[in-house]
Each structure stands twice: as structure tokens, then as C-alpha cells.
Amino acid sequence: MKALVFIAGLLLAPTLAMAQARKVDVPHSEQAIGSWVLSCASDPMTDTQTCRMRHKLWLVVPGNGHPGLALEVQQRGGQLVPAITLRDLSFSTALSGLLTLAATAQVRFDSAPMLELPCSLEGTTVMCVPQQADNVRAAAELAKAHTVLVRFKSFGNLPLGVPDDTLALDLDGTQDALVRFRVAGPATEPTSGFGQDVSDTVDRLLRRLGVGGDQTQAPAKQP
């Protein structure tokens, strides 16, 4: 009998060795407000809630092998400003496209002058937001506009289906959505890398890997 128990234990050992802890579900909510979608998730470790605000229509619908291009709202310098985002890039996409990429987005709210949104790489997201000096203007135009024109311009082998055309989105319920977004809790602003364009970000990555860049160092001055 003991031998049978021992053999059964041996048979079960591989199964037990392959067992894995269960994944914790992240509490998530989503609501539509006019032309916007407000989605929030809570960190199961800290109960901290972070939210994203995105236009309900994609500029480029996400598909097999490529992420979606979206109009979002980001918090910058205390202002809620427009942002054009490409989220969840794969490592291979970043290497094959972003190493030679210089990108910028342009938006125009109603009949106001065009706004440039320089792009930077934040984690696995290409984030295009106004320059700091344009934050107040961008926030004011976003809040009251009825339409926005968007153009995403990239140079390099970006393996994404981003159109060269100017795209238009209708805006509705924006002020209400902005109020709820601010109360719900926008994502924390990045503490580093903001304001660096994509080429600068890639250059820093290459330097860490010991590839490219000027490796020389100026000689120390003689006393």
C-alpha cells in the first residue's frame, strides 16, 4: 500500500511542479460620455485608480500585428490636453520602426490655428502631446471645440498602417467628460523622458546598449 502511495506521489509530482499562482483580475470600468470613452482600472496592490480618456472612434483601428492610433486626453502641467497615441508597441515594432523614426502629430480644433504635438517614446507607447508652452491653449481649445482635424506624420520605416491623410473627428460632451476624467484620476504624468522626441529616446537606448553615438570623452584639463 505504501508503495502505491509512493508511486502515485511520483506521478503527481510533475503536475504539482507545473502548477502556477492564479492571476488577479484588475477591477475595470468603462463609460461613454458624448464622443468620449472613460476607462478606469484599479491597482489590486494599492487600490489606486488610474483612468484614460479616449475618443470613441479610432484614427487607426487596432488589428493583427499593429496597435491603434487614438486621440486621447493626457494631464500635462496640470492641464488636460489632447494627445495622439500609439500604445502597446511590441519590441520588434519598436526596433524595426522607431530606430529611424522622427514623428510628430498635428491637430486643429475648429478654425483655430494648427497645433504641433511632438512625439516621444514613453515605455511601449508613442505619445504625442503639446509642448509645455502650448498646454494652456491646447486645453482651452479642446474643451470648447466641436471638431478636430488630425494628421500624423512619420519619417522612417514605421511598420504601422498610419494614413497620410488628414482625419476628422466630431467632439461632443467634452467638458462633461473632462470634469469626470479629472475627478476619476488621470494617469500620473511621466517623471522622466517627457519632452524628448523619439530620436533622442532611441539614441539614449542605443547608448545603454553600447551601440552608436559618440563614445569619445573630452580630455581632462591639466592643472
217 has a pLDDT exceeding 50: no
Coil, strand or helix: which one is 136? helix
The band of 6, judged by pLDDT with boundaries at 50, 70 and 90, is low
**Containing domain of residue 108, as a range?**
26-201
Residue 21 inside a domain? The answer is no
220 has a pLDDT exceeding 90: no
Residue 140 inside a domain? The answer is yes
How do residues 26-84 score in pLDDT, each as one tens digit? 778 899 999 999 999 888 888 888 899 999 999 989 887 678 889 999 999 999 999 99
Residue 10 inside a domain? The answer is no
Give pLDDT, residue 49.
83
Q: Do the beta carbons of residue 91 and residue 188 sit within 8 Å?
A: no
Question: What distance in Å separates the CA atoms of residue 49 and residue 141, rounded to the nearest whole number?
Answer: 27
List the 102-109 sheet strands across, edge first.
Answer: 28-33, 36-42, 49-55, 69-76, 79-86, 125-128, 115-122, 102-109, 147-155, 167-170
- Give mean pLDDT, residues 173-190: 88
Cα-Cα end-to-end distance for the chain = 86
Q: Name the pTM for this structure.
A: 0.74
Count of domains forming the chain: 1
Q: What is the CATH number of the domain that holds 158?
A: 2.60.40.1880
C-alpha cell at 56: 470613441
195 has a pLDDT exceeding 60: no
Residue 114 inside a domain? The answer is yes
Residue 104 inside a domain? The answer is yes
Q: State which H helix or E strand residue 148 sits in.
A: strand 147-155
Give pLDDT, residue 129.
95
Residue 16 inside a domain? The answer is no
How do residues 93-145 score in pLDDT, each as one tens digit? 555 455 445 678 999 999 999 999 998 877 778 889 999 999 999 999 999 99
23 has a pLDDT exceeding 70: yes
214 has a pLDDT exceeding 50: no
170 has a pLDDT exceeding 90: yes
Residue entry with cell 504641433? 116
5 versus 146: the higher-pLDDT residue is 146
Give pLDDT, residue 194.
41
Rg (CA), the chain: 23
Residue 156 inside a domain? The answer is yes
